């Protein structure tokens, strides 16, 4: 009886939106339709603007802590500023979205990859190098941070291929013609039509593992002094697993994925609270705000974990690829 | 190959000048000032030779991360100390070996304040400098970039400025200073200014906070001229002749010097011809060498027609205030130098003394700590052992108080002779009223901070830090040894350039100022060119600041900061 009920319980976004109270149902419904048809370029551009500003701030102070000892350390700071501007420009202009935002995003992803290389080199340059991997990963440059820095650029790339809100219902893209051999569908086509759930699941899993890895060695560096420091490590396998599961199964995408993604988002928000509290409880407290932010718990790091959850939640809302 | 820190190696077979080959400059003492002068002059193309009584360190072979094993870094030869308040000599206020004292300094690098350059004008005590803060400021900026200095991007005291490298994370003692100061509403600088890398630069790795700074940094993160300037000097054709003790400066009948007589590593006396000589032996060895070089026409020592040579020696009050805490402090971790406040630096009319002091972190390792405990609490035997077990619960803050220059605080020659047969220095020191009041007030203020931070027991040890003066610069040849570029008034091709030229000392650690003064003198010498060697005329125009002579990597790294 119960299993039959569970079997019939539809937790897809379309079904859930119908359960919402009358007051909020229409806007939620519209938002969902836009997401599922891939017509949310403007909103996504705004999101890119915001996330890029945050990751720019984070990389600015993290690299300040590294004294900008290599001039290349300025590049992510500059690029995230440019990307933020590109996000704003893309909000206003379709052309900007397809050019400025797209190229800046690709450039930023490349910069993230280069940064990843430099951070690997940084670990290698520490005494003992890769022969002392645990010490040097924990004490060296945050190895996955450059990849996480690429998250907003990745969103920028997605945004640049989406349709705009005003395109909704215009049927500009006729997928029906795709099957006739004249027109080959590729990943861009999927993005334009909001069909990139599986793709997003993979990215979610990678992002979660990187972000969870960061949380692991950062909290390890603090000896897991507080039990709550384990929480992102519990959520990490759940979300990464759910995302990979959702890649294989639609059921998983409609059940485990939103639960795990929600947990990650909440975990990040709670983490931000704890990190702020940690900064304030340092010697000098709010009388030394800049110094304590610089050397206290990284104030934006939990939000990066939330960002992984947000990707998962977005994946849940998307339609699946046709193939 | 000689190791200079964990990542830097240089090949020592360098240029070697023959004794009869006339070099342009002989620099006596390759320490903070000597290292910078050597590098600048070599880059400018002069034939320059640095004589160093100690050895050219191989940091991997010669240095140990051990408190007891690091004594060879100091000048341990015989010296006589005396007076009403005798100074302890031969440890942290001396240096021997290439890099000199910068090998074992804690590397605090605050600038002097503008007021330090006109103490007499402002307060009617001490002396004025023959130059202003503004004249030295560009060299402060340049050296902070070269060394480089880590610290806050905005530093409020003196003339506000920032630092090119990011501040360091706090150790336990820094946390104590910050807690105490913020509780009392005293502004405090966290993480610098200190000449220790907070991020790597070129072939120098960043600090790993293991705490052996004043035992000489094997990592190479802490700056010393041995690793910052000497390698570049050697690359540009300078020679460093180590284990060579200069016995006297040789004079020609025409009143100019023609070189130095020195005792080489095999104990032979040799003569090195030079067109000019720069003495950079610091506050005791510089006057000692000049006094030991007395000869017909200079019976009271070289450059001593004013009679001020050896006088106006200054030490800073360096009282250490120790506080015991219930929680763990672990003061051996992190560099001893990483936080300070200069809130009490300037003369305050509300206090009954002139000038002021700074409060800084100190992180004594166990041997130093046990000495402090012995001095502060009179511990011995079992009671000492018991207190030593509490080491990890103690924090140490240091007073750095300005002691004014007094003529009878001085360096003279004693009758005793050292292993080379040279007369050794005798140092006499006495505090005056102003000094005593300042120390009393400062000491109590540091104790107040320690209590405010939550210490359950607070004790203190009286001691002194740093040595400057004894060959002071000035505007008037009758009251000073040298002019504002270190050129002695009496002998046109003899220079003094090190801490001994300072007329007053502020309550800032002197290292950065010594290096800045040396870089400025180097610019002067380069601008003057052959006039130094041939002419007796004295051009007092300040030289243009030369930025093209800095060591490699100077301008390629650094964070945004207030200039």
Kindly tell me if the per-residue pLDDT of B237 is higher than 90. Answer: yes
Comparing CB atoms, the residue among B148, B166, B208 nearest residue A66 is: B166
CB-neighbour burial class of residue B540 (10 A; exposed 0-12, middle 13-18, buried 19+): exposed
Q: Domain tally for chain B?
A: 1
Give the nearest partner residue to B558 out of A65, A68, A126, using CB atoms.
A68
A181 part of contact set with chain B, CB < 8 Å: no
Question: Which among B148, B182, B559 is the nearest to A64, CB-wise?
Answer: B559
pLDDT value of residue B92: 80
A6-9 own/partner pairs: CB under 8 Å, 24+ apart? none
In chain B, the residue whose alpha carbon lies closest to the alpha carbon of A63 is B559
Contact A288 B178 (CB under 8 A): yes
Residue-level pLDDT at A185: 64
Given CB atoms, is A223 within the 8 Å cutoff of chain B? no
Q: Which residues of B touch A141 (CB under 8 A)?
A: none
Give me chain A's average pLDDT, please.
Answer: 89
Q: How many other CB atoms are there within 10 angstroms of residue A10's CB atom?
A: 11
- Residues A282 and A160: beta-carbon distance below 8 Å: no
Query: Residue A201 phi/psi, 5° resolution?
Result: -65, -40
Q: What is the mean pLDDT of residues B460-466?
A: 93
H/E element, A247: helix A231-248
Closest-CA residue of B relative to A281 is B179
Residue with tokens 């051990």: B66
Question: Residue B546: inside a domain, yes or no?
Answer: no
d(CA B81, CA B547): 42
Judging contacts by C-beta atoms under 8 Å, the chain B residues touching residue A70 are 557
Q: Residue A287: which of B150, B166, B182 has the nearest Cβ? A: B182
Contact B190 A291 (CB under 8 A): yes
The answer to whether B200 contacts A125, with C-beta atoms less than 8 Å apart, is yes
- Residues of chain B whose C-beta is under 8 A from some C-beta in A? 6, 148, 150, 152-153, 164-167, 169-170, 174-176, 178-179, 181-182, 188, 190-191, 197-201, 205-206, 208, 556-560
Determine the average pLDDT of the residues in B431-439: 95
Question: Which of B184, B173, B174, B143 has the alpha carbon at shortest distance from B33?
Answer: B143
Candidates B168, B175, B179, B190: best to mutate against A (most CBs of A within 10 A) is B190
Q: Do strands B269-279 and B464-468 pair parallel, antiparallel, or not at all (unpaired)?
A: unpaired
Q: What is the strand order of the sheet B423-428 is part of?
A: B80-82, B423-428, B410-417
Q: Does A295 sit within 8 Å of B199, measured CB to CB?
A: no
- Report H helices in B82-169: 119-123, 133-146
| Residue in A with minimal Cα distance to B181 | A284
Residue of B nearest to A60 (CA): B559
Is this prediction's ipTM beyond 0.85?
Answer: no
Nearest CA-CA distance, residue B380 and chain A, Å:
34
CB neighbour burial string for B313-335, b if at least 16 within 10 angstroms, e if fewer: bbbbbbbbbbbbbeeebbbbebb
Q: How many cross-chain Cβ pairs, A to B, lie less than 8 Å apart?
A: 74
Say how far apart CA B203 and CA B200 lie, in whole Å: 8
Question: Among B164, B170, B172, B554, which would you mutate to test the A interface (most chain A Cβ atoms within 10 Å of its Cβ)?
Answer: B170
Peptide bond into B193 cis (omega under 30): yes
**In this complex, do B199 and A285 lie within 8 Å of one another by their Cβ atoms?**
no
CA distances from B99 to A216, B90, B127 (A): 42, 16, 29
Which residues in chain A have Cβ-Cβ distances shorter than 8 Å to B199? 65-69
- Percentage of chain B lying above the pLDDT 90 cut: 88
A284:B188 CB<8 A: yes
Question: Which of B488, B460, B490 is CA-nearest to residue B472?
Answer: B488
Cα–Cα distance for residue pair A319/A205, rounded to 1 Å? 18
HSE-up (13 A, CA, CB side) for residue B309: 29
* Residues of chain A found within 8 Å of residue B205, distances taken between Cβ atoms: 125-127
pLDDT band at residue A18 under the 50/70/90 scheme? confident
Residue contact B190–A68, C-beta within 8 A: no
- Output b/e per residue, A196-234; b: 16+ Cβ within 10 A: bbbbbbebbbbbbbbbbbbbbbbbeeeeeeeeebebbee
**B-chain residues within 8 Å CB-CB of A283?**
170, 174-176, 178-179, 182
Give the chain A residue whose CA is nearest to the CA of B175.
A283
Q: Say if A178 is an interface residue toward chain B (CB within 8 Å).
A: no
Q: What is the pLDDT of residue A126?
A: 81
Domain span at residue B232 reads: 2-534
How far is the alpha carbon of B176 from chain A, nearest alpha carbon, in Å?
8
Angle between helix B511-528 and B32-43 (nearest 10): 30
Flag whether pLDDT at A3 surpasses 80: no
Query: Residue A133 — very low, low, confident or very high, per pLDDT cuts 50/70/90?
Result: confident
DSSP string, A220-245: HHTTT-SGGGGHHHHHHHHHHHHHHH
d(CA B168, CA B177): 14
Q: Does A133 touch chain B (CB under 8 A)?
A: no
Q: How large is the angle between the packed helices A197-221 and A301-317, nearest 10 degrees?
A: 160
Distance from CA of B559 to the nearest CA of A (A): 5
Distance CA(B485)–CA(B33), nearest Å, equals 13
Q: Assign residue B294 a region: left if phi > 0, alpha if psi is -120 to 50, beta otherwise? A: beta
We report the CATH number of the domain holding residue B320 as 3.50.50.60
Measured distance CA(A20)–CA(A209) in Å, rounded: 33
When pLDDT is cut at 50, 70 and 90, the band that residue A323 belongs to is: low
Provide the pLDDT for residue A2: 55
- Test A284 with B166 for CB contact under 8 angstroms: no
Measured over the CA atoms of residue B224, residue B228, residue B233 and residue B234, the dihedral's sign is positive
pLDDT at residue A177, as a whole number: 47
pTM of the model: 0.90
Shortest Cα distance, chain A CAs vs residue B219, angstroms: 9
Per-residue pLDDT of A165-218, as tens digits, reads 998 887 766 554 444 555 556 778 888 888 899 999 999 999 999 999 999 999
B548 is a domain residue: no
CB B30 within 8 A of CB B37: no
Contact of A74 with chain B, judged by CB distance below 8 Å, is answered with no
Rounded Cα–Cα distance for residues A87 and A96 (Å): 9
List, for residues B330-376, the tens digit of each pLDDT value: 999 889 999 999 999 999 999 999 999 999 999 899 999 999 999 99
Nearest to A64 among B166, B181, B200 (CB): B166
The whole-angstrom distance between B150's CA and the closest CA on chain A is 8
Mean per-residue pLDDT of chain B: 94
State the pLDDT at residue B434.
95
Q: What is the pLDDT of residues A134-169, one digit of tens each?
A: 888 888 889 999 998 999 999 999 999 999 999 888
């Amino acid at each position: 009886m119960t299993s039959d009920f569970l079997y019939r319980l539809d937790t897809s976004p379309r079904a859930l939106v119908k359960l919402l109270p009358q007051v909020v149902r229409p806007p939620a419904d519209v938002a969902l339709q836009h997401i599922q048809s891939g017509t949310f370029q403007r909103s996504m551009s705004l999101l890119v603007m915001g996330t890029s500003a945050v990751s720019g701030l984070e990389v600015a102070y993290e690299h300040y802590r590294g004294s900008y000892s290599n001039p290349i350390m300025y590049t992510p700071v500059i690029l995230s500023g440019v990307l933020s501007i590109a996000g704003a420009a893309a909000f206003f202009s379709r052309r900007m979205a397809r050019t400025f935002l797209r190229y800046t995003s690709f450039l930023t992803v490349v910069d993230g990859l280069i940064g990843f290389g430099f951070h690997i080199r940084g670990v290698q340059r520490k005494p003992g190098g890769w022969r002392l991997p645990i010490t040097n990963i924990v004490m060296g440059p945050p190895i996955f941070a450059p990849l996480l820095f690429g998250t907003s650029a990745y969103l920028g790339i997605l945004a640049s291929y989406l349709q705009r809100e005003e395109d909704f219902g215009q049927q500009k893209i006729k997928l029906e013609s795709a099957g006739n051999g004249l027109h080959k569908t590729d990943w861009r086509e999927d993005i334009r039509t909001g069909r990139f759930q599986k793709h997003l699941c993979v990215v979610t899993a990678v992002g979660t593992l990187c972000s969870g890895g960061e949380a692991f060695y950062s909290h390890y560096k603090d000896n897991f002094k507080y039990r709550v420091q384990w929480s992102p490590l519990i959520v990490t396998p759940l979300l990464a697993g759910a995302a990979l599961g959702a890649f294989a199964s639609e059921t998983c995408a409609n059940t485990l994925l939103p639960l795990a993604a929600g947990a990650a988002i909440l975990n990040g928000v709670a983490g931000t609270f704890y990190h702020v509290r940690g900064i304030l409880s340092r010697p000098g407290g709010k009388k030394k705000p800049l110094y304590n932010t610089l050397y206290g718990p990284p104030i934006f790091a939990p939000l990066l974990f939330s960002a992984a959850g947000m990707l998962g939640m977005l994946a849940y809302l998307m339609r699946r690829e046709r193939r | 190959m000689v190791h200079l820190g964990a990542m830097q190696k240089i090949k020592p077979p360098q240029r070697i000048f023959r004794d009869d080959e006339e070099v342009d400059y002989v620099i006596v003492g390759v320490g903070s000032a000597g290292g910078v002068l050597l590098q600048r002059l070599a880059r400018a193309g002069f034939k320059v030779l640095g004589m160093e009584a100690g050895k050219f360190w191989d940091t991997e072979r010669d240095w140990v991360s051990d408190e007891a094993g690091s004594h060879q870094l100091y000048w341990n030869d015989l010296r006589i100390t005396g007076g009403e308040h005798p100074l302890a000599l031969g440890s942290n206020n001396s240096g021997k070996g290439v890099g000199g004292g910068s090998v074992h300094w804690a590397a605090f690098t605050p600038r002097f304040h503008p007021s330090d350059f006109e103490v007499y004008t402002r307060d009617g005590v001490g002396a004025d400098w023959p130059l202003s803060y503004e004249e030295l400021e560009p060299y402060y900026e340049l050296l902070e970039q070269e060394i480089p200095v880590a610290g806050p991007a905005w530093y409020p005291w003196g003339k506000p400025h920032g630092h090119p490298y990011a501040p360091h994370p706090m150790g336990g003692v820094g946390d104590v200073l910050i807690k105490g100061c913020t509780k009392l509403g005293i502004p405090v600088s966290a993480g610098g200014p200190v000449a220790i890398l907070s991020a790597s630069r070129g072939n120098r790795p960043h600090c790993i906070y293991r705490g052996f700074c004043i035992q000489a940094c094997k990592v190479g993160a802490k700056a010393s001229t041995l690793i910052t300037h000497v390698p570049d000097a050697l690359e540009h054709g300078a020679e460093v002749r180590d284990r060579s003790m200069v016995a006297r400066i040789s004079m020609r009948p025409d009143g100019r010097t023609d070189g130095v007589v020195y005792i080489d590593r095999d104990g032979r006396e040799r003569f090195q011809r030079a067109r000019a000589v720069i003495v950079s032996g610091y506050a005791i060895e510089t006057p000692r060498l000049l006094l030991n070089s007395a000869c017909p026409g200079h019976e009271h020592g070289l450059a001593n027609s004013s009679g001020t040579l050896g006088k106006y020696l200054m030490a800073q009050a360096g009282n250490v205030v120790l506080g015991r805490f219930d929680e763990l402090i672990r003061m051996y971790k992190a560099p001893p130098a990483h936080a300070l406040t200069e809130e009490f630096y300037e003369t305050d009319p509300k206090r009954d003394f002139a000038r002021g002091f700074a409060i800084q972190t100190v992180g004594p390792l166990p041997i130093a700590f046990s000495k402090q405990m012995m001095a502060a609490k009179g511990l011995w035997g079992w009671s000492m052992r018991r207190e030593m077990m509490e080491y990890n619960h103690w924090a140490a803050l240091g007073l750095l108080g300005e002691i004014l220059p007094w003529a009878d605080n001085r360096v003279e020659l004693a009758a005793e002779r050292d292993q080379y047969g040279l007369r050794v220095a005798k140092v006499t020191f006495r505090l005056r009223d102003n000094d005593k009041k300042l120390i009393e007030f400062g000491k109590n203020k540091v104790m107040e901070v320690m209590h405010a931070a939550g210490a359950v027991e607070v004790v203190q040890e009286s001691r002194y830090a740093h040595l400057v003066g004894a060959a002071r610069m000035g505007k008037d040849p009758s009251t000073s040894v040298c002019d504002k570029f270190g050129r002695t008034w009496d002998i046109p091709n003899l220079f003094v350039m090190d801490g001994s030229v300072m007329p007053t000392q502020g309550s800032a650690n002197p290292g950065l100022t010594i290096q800045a003064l040396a870089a400025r003198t180097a610019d002067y010498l380069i601008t003057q060119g052959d006039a130094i060697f041939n002419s007796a005329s004295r051009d007092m125009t300040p030289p243009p600041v030369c930025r093209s002579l800095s060591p490699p990597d100077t301008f390629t790294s650094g964070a945004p900061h207030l200039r």
